[in-house]
């Protein structure tokens, strides 16, 4: 006699198996392999009542009587044996799917197009370099394309899809972009060895005002603009390399990132003027477009960047 709660064969259709269905099938497989509810109770670490309820739910979902249970013991029906075989096939297929998808993470393929602001390669925190190295280790076939362009062009490139990601100074926040903070960049005011201020210990605003300075011809935060306000702007440059050229001419003073100027400072060709007073910080972030299509290469790169930034935030004793 058919279970009244069980739908007729003509109206039964399991459809797309859900997570709940897969859980019921895992329980069913264990019950079959253990030879009954009692033995499966230990293996599954759930009560016999919960197993019985799961079996009832599964039979209702399938519209089939899967097993006989009672005083006569446990025995599979013919339909139950076929469902068991089908369960093995399904679970093997699911495991194979999981293995293949997980394997894709170790066999990344595709391109990564990055826009980067100039002269970040000398940053002591090698987040970008180390993240690219880790990405290449995970996907030797990944092709990396780097464009050295101004921050505004990087923002546009990421927004219109020409670039997957970029690294820019945090000047403003655009609603269409997601930001991953990377690091702070310290800048100081420098002059060259043959400049009149090179041997002057205390350089105040009055002294600055009588010497030509090179100022950036790219966007700056209000705080950075305030640091340049006391300077006598006699030249401009579109990037930090241009600023360095003019400082090294011995005719101009100007701000440079400390990591970028370090090579000339070390060689005695540059000196920072009153570094405790004339300095500022620039915050850099990695950007991506919000709502961009899923891209395993980009996600893997950002995952490595995030790992590196989190690791740097952990100091000994934390």
Tens digits of residue pLDDT in 111-138: 999 999 877 777 777 789 999 999 999 8
Question: Which positions ≥6 away from 242 have C-beta within 8 Å?
Answer: 214
9-104 shares its CATH topology with 110-312: no
Host H or E run for residue 27: helix 19-34
CATH 3.40.50.360 fits 110-312, yes or no: no
CA distance 40 to 31: 5
Q: What is the CATH number of domain 9-104?
A: 1.10.10.10
Alpha carbon distance, N-terminus to C-terminus of the chain: 67
Distance CA 255, CA 163 (A): 29
Entry pTM: 0.62
Measure CA 156 to chain center.
20
The C-alpha atoms of residue 60 and residue 155 are separated, in whole angstroms, by 56
- Report DSSP state, residue 269: S
Residue segments in the chain with a per-residue pLDDT below the cut of 50: 1-2, 4-5, 7-13, 315-318
Residue ranges covered by each domain of the chain: 9-104, 110-312
Q: Using one digit for the tens of pLDDT, what is the confidence trace for 245-285?
A: 999 999 999 999 999 999 999 999 999 999 999 999 999 99
């Amino acid at each position: 006699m058919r279970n009244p709660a069980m739908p007729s064969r003509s109206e039964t259709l399991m459809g797309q198996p859900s997570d709940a269905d897969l859980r019921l099938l895992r329980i069913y497989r264990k019950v079959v392999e253990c030879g009954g509810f009692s033995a499966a109770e230990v293996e599954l670490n759930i009560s016999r009542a919960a197993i019985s309820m799961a079996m009832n739910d599964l039979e209702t979902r399938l519209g089939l009587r899967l097993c006989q249970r009672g005083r006569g013991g446990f025995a599979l029906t013919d339909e139950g044996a076929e469902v068991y075989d089908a369960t093995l096939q399904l679970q093997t297929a699911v495991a194979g799917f999981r293995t293949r998808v997980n394997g894709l993470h170790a066999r990344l393929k595709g391109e990564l197009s990055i826009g980067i602001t100039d002269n970040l390669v000398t940053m002591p925190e090698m987040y970008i370099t180390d993240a690219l190295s880790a990405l290449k280790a995970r996907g030797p076939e990944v092709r990396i394309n780097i464009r050295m362009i101004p921050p505004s062009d990087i923002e546009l490139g990421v927004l219109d899809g020409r670039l997957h990601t970029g690294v820019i100074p945090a000047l403003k926040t655009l609603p269409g972009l997601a930001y991953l903070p990377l690091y702070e960049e310290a800048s100081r005011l420098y002059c060259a060895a043959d400049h009149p201020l090179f041997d002057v210990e205390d350089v105040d605003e009055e002294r600055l005002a009588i010497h030509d300075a090179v100022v950036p011809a790219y966007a700056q935060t209000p705080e950075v603009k305030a640091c340049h306000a006391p300077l006598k702007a006699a030249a401009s440059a579109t990037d930090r390399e241009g600023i360095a050229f003019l400082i090294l001419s011995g005719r101009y003073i100007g701000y440079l990132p400390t990591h970028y100027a370090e090579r000339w400072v070390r060689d005695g060709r540059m000196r920072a003027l009153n570094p405790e007073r004339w300095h500022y910080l620039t915050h850099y972030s990695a950007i991506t477009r919000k709502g961009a299509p899923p891209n395993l290469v980009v996600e893997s790169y950002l995952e490595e960047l995030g790992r590196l930034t989190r690791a740097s935030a952990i100091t000994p004793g934390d």
